[in-house]
Chain A
């Protein structure tokens, strides 16, 4: 039973109805990062897929940008409780990157410049659910928002959408990435309010 806060009525908007539990609407685009923003030059950027021992796929910036891309309009939900609706991105679907890859490994650890990692079930980044995004609102993705390219997995809390992404390692078992090791939920579904590891 919650304690009633004397004199508190709150500020509610009609859009609140579209939000996952415990989220509030924002129109700006806040930034959450554990360390300094890495500056990555495009001529040394790469994205690789490996299975823990062998590199299975590799793209440099030029070959990555030659892949078919699509525009994505989606809502974002950050574990720090802000949500932003109708954001617009351009990126390459993970379906394209994984297209001719045969694997039985059901999990992936995404890796970023700056040593950030985050874990995801492979099924969560397939079937039009995840992209490597390089444009936001029609412009090149800014470094503080993850440029030159970031993972975009909008159906999970935004820490799963790793900024400055540079690869993914396929894994036989799930294991926690950076924030998942520091008390945040292993999966992170905003609609089930999976914020912390013990809920």
Chain B
């Protein structure tokens, strides 16, 4: 797999700690929603560091992709990507990588997305892929996030949820809720799974992405609610927050 030059064409802050980078990638071969890329930084003396980031953008083949990077305390690469990088900089990238945690446009079954924090990124890639493909697959998103200010893609998700044939979105806040929110802040639980996910009769495929503890908890709840384990795909982030 070859390293490709990637030109930073736009940057956009999603939250106080997360930034989306739009990259123009030379000879980008295209990707499937849910896949990730390796990004390589190289110091003047040749030292390099590589990390993986999920692709947030739809697989349209104009050679542009977007990644959203959450800045980690004590991170090596994420502080650079969220604070140093400017439009016009060149990075190195290879991919796409991953063939399991993906949504393909020919999938027609109902899709249940469950995001914990920055685990929303590959799931947003799936939501955008559905839209760009004109798919009529039914999508539903349960998005667990610490507080309203930590929501990625806020305006786009709001627009999507206001459209008729679209994605049904349920937010769950773990620390701080909006002022008039009906549910107190806390971890997702069985009632929220019952209210915020597709009924079993629809036989959905579920994609769960987030920190390990979140994914363990959410998949246990889904299985307890009767979902088949073979229809649940997971992607976990370690305690460091790096993609695993």
Interface residues on B, range: 35 or more
- CA separation between A199 and B50, bound complex, in Å? 16
Distance of A155 from chain B, by nearest CB (Å): 21
- A34 in complex: contacting residue of B3, B41, B233, B237, CB < 8 Å: B233
- B42 in complex: contacting residue of A3, A26, A33, CB < 8 Å: A3
Asked if B131 is at the interface (CB within 8 A of a chain A CB), the reply is no
Number of interface residues of A (CB under 8 A): 39
Distance of B125 from chain A, by nearest CB (Å): 17
Residues in A whose Cβ lies below 8 Å from that of B219 = 35-37
Once the chains bind, are A10 and B49 in contact (CB under 8 Å)? yes
Once the chains bind, are B244 and A10 in contact (CB under 8 Å)? no
- Among residues 63 to 122 in chain B, which have CB atoms less than 8 Å away from a CB atom of chain A? 76, 80, 84, 89-92, 97-101
Instruction: Tell me which of B154-162, B187-195, B222-230 binds A.
Output: B222-230
- CA separation between A78 and B236, bound complex, in Å? 13
Asked if B48 is at the interface (CB within 8 A of a chain A CB), the reply is yes
- CA separation between A193 and B97, bound complex, in Å? 15
Once the chains bind, are B43 and A9 in contact (CB under 8 Å)? yes
Asked if A2 is at the interface (CB within 8 A of a chain B CB), the reply is yes
Distance of B94 from chain A, by nearest CB (Å): 9
Once the chains bind, are A7 and B240 in contact (CB under 8 Å)? no
Residues in A whose Cβ lies below 8 Å from that of B43 = 4-5, 8-10
- CA separation between A34 and B231, bound complex, in Å? 11
- CA separation between A144 and B234, bound complex, in Å? 13
Residues in A whose Cβ lies below 8 Å from that of B40 = 2
Once the chains bind, are A183 and B52 in contact (CB under 8 Å)? no
Residues in A whose Cβ lies below 8 Å from that of B230 = 35, 115
Residues in A whose Cβ lies below 8 Å from that of B233 = 34-35
Once the chains bind, are A37 and B50 in contact (CB under 8 Å)? no
Mark contacts of A11-34 with chain B using CB atoms, 8 A cut-off: 1 yes-contact digit, 0 otherwise: 110000000001010101111111
- A5 in complex: contacting residue of B42, B97, B242, CB < 8 Å: B42
Classify the interface of chain B: helix, strand, loop or mixed. mixed
Residues in B whose Cβ lies below 8 Å from that of A28 = 238-240
Distance of B196 from chain A, by nearest CB (Å): 18
Asked if A196 is at the interface (CB within 8 A of a chain B CB), the reply is yes
Distance of A146 from chain B, by nearest CB (Å): 13
Residues in A whose Cβ lies below 8 Å from that of B44 = 4
Once the chains bind, are A8 and B52 in contact (CB under 8 Å)? no
Asked if A135 is at the interface (CB within 8 A of a chain B CB), the reply is no
Asked if B220 is at the interface (CB within 8 A of a chain A CB), the reply is yes
Asked if B46 is at the interface (CB within 8 A of a chain A CB), the reply is yes
- B52 in complex: contacting residue of A26, A33, A80, A181, CB < 8 Å: A80
Residues in B whose Cβ lies below 8 Å from that of A114 = 229
Q: Quick one: closest A residue to B229, CB to CB?
A: A36
Asked if A173 is at the interface (CB within 8 A of a chain B CB), the reply is no
Distance of B230 from chain A, by nearest CB (Å): 7
Asked if A82 is at the interface (CB within 8 A of a chain B CB), the reply is yes
Asked if B138 is at the interface (CB within 8 A of a chain A CB), the reply is no
Q: What are 20 A-B residue pairs whose CB atoms fall within 8 Å in the complex?
A: A2-B42, A3-B42, A4-B43, A5-B42, A5-B80, A6-B84, A8-B41, A8-B43, A31-B212, A35-B219, A36-B232, A37-B219, A38-B229, A80-B242, A82-B244, A181-B99, A183-B97, A183-B99, A196-B97, A199-B1
3 nearest A-B pairs in the assembled complex, by CB-CB distance: A30-B238, A182-B99, A36-B219
Known: A28-B238, A28-B240. 13 other contacts (CB 8 A): A2-B48, A24-B76, A30-B212, A30-B239, A31-B238, A33-B234, A80-B242, A81-B50, A82-B238, A114-B229, A144-B216, A182-B100, A199-B1
